């Protein structure tokens, strides 16, 4: 009963905060319009990029390391696709294939957790090198779902580049058995908060976390009020150190 009440309150606050969800990733809807640029790291088959570009008419860059998933992405006038693994340094990188195509990874500990059916070499790039090559000076929404590599990628991005990003929606892979990233997640959250981001955790296991750069996005006072209530609600509900 209490869990159902919590979910109803949470969902109401999410709606009042102007958050929408696409493919299990929440973001601030008023921060996206037809002039926005979305960068999708871990695009899979392109469902997130396709839906957000069709909904908002925005431009998307979809990056996917798996050749089979990349080939399944239907490129259109709204977004471009890139067969790349985003990682801590540019150059060839080992990509561990999983029997679950959504669980392939460049992270050895995650490979051990999910299991592997083989290894291929793919092109890797840092986010900053990708932005430089494509002449991108700012990102309206950065979506990160890269099977554990989010830790090294976020650690590799400079403070100056992070400050140019308006919001980040991310899946942390804390739930992977044997992938001990708890302290890394805490450090990343503290770093982003110090750079001017507010952190909104939308579930109990950190698979749906939203960072909003309040220096770049002007939340209405009532939206900020509801966001703060949402943060407090999770802190009360959570029994983890991540709140």
Give residue-wise pLDDT tens across range 3-32: 788 889 989 999 999 999 999 999 999 999
Give the CATH number of the domain where residue 54 resides. Answer: 3.40.50.150
Domain count, the chain: 1
pTM to 2 decimals? 0.93
What integer pLDDT is reported at residue 158 of this predicted model?
97
What integer pLDDT is reported at residue 6 of this predicted model?
82
Residue 58 within any structural domain of the chain: yes
Residue 105 within any structural domain of the chain: no
pLDDT digits (tens, 9 = 90+) for 169-201: 999 977 655 566 788 888 999 999 999 999 999
**Whole-number Å distance between alpha carbons of 211 and 218:** 14
Percent share of the chain, pLDDT over 90: 69
Q: Let me know: does 152 contact 88? Beta carbons within 8 Å.
A: yes
Residue 124 within any structural domain of the chain: no
Residue 67 within any structural domain of the chain: yes
Residue 89 within any structural domain of the chain: no
Residue 20 within any structural domain of the chain: yes
**Whole-number Å distance between alpha carbons of 111 and 26:** 26
Q: Which of 94-103, 160-169, 175-184 has the lowest mean pLDDT?
A: 175-184
**Whole-number Å distance between alpha carbons of 52 and 72:** 17
Q: Let me know: does 26 contact 15? Beta carbons within 8 Å.
A: no
Residue 94 within any structural domain of the chain: no
Range of the domain at 22: 2-83+135-237
Cα 51 to chain centroid, rounded: 16
Residue 6 within any structural domain of the chain: yes
Q: Which of 71-80, 103-112, 209-218 has the lowest mean pLDDT?
A: 103-112
pLDDT digits (tens, 9 = 90+) for 108-163: 877 777 778 889 999 999 999 999 999 999 999 999 999 889 999 999 999 999 99
């Amino acid at each position: 009963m209490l869990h159902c009440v919590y979910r109803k309150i949470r969902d109401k606050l999410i709606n009042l905060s102007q958050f929408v969800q696409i493919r299990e990733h929440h973001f601030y809807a008023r921060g996206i319009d037809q002039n926005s640029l979305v960068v999708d790291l871990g695009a899979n088959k392109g469902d997130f990029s396709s839906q957000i570009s069709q909904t908002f008419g925005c431009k998307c860059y979809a990056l996917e390391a798996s050749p089979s998933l990349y080939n399944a992405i239907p490129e259109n006038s709204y977004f471009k696709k890139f067969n790349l693994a985003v990682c801590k340094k540019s150059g060839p990188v080992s990509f561990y294939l999983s029997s679950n195509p959504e669980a392939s990874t460049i992270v050895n500990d995650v490979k051990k957790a999910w299991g592997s059916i083989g290894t291929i070499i793919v092109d890797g790039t840092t986010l900053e090198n990708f932005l430089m090559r494509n002449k991108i000076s700012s990102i309206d929404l950065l979506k990160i779902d890269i099977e554990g590599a989010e830790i090294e990628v976020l650690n590799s991005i400079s403070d100056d580049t992070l400050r140019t990003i308006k919001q980040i929606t991310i899946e942390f892979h804390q739930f992977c058995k044997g992938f001990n990233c708890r302290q890394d997640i805490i450090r990343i959250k503290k770093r982003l908060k110090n750079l001017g981001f507010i952190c909104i955790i939308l579930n109990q296991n950190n698979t749906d976390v939203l960072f909003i750069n309040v220096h770049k996005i002007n939340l209405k006072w009532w939206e900020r009020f509801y966001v703060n209530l949402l943060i407090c609600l999770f802190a009360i509900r959570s029994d983890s150190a991540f709140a």
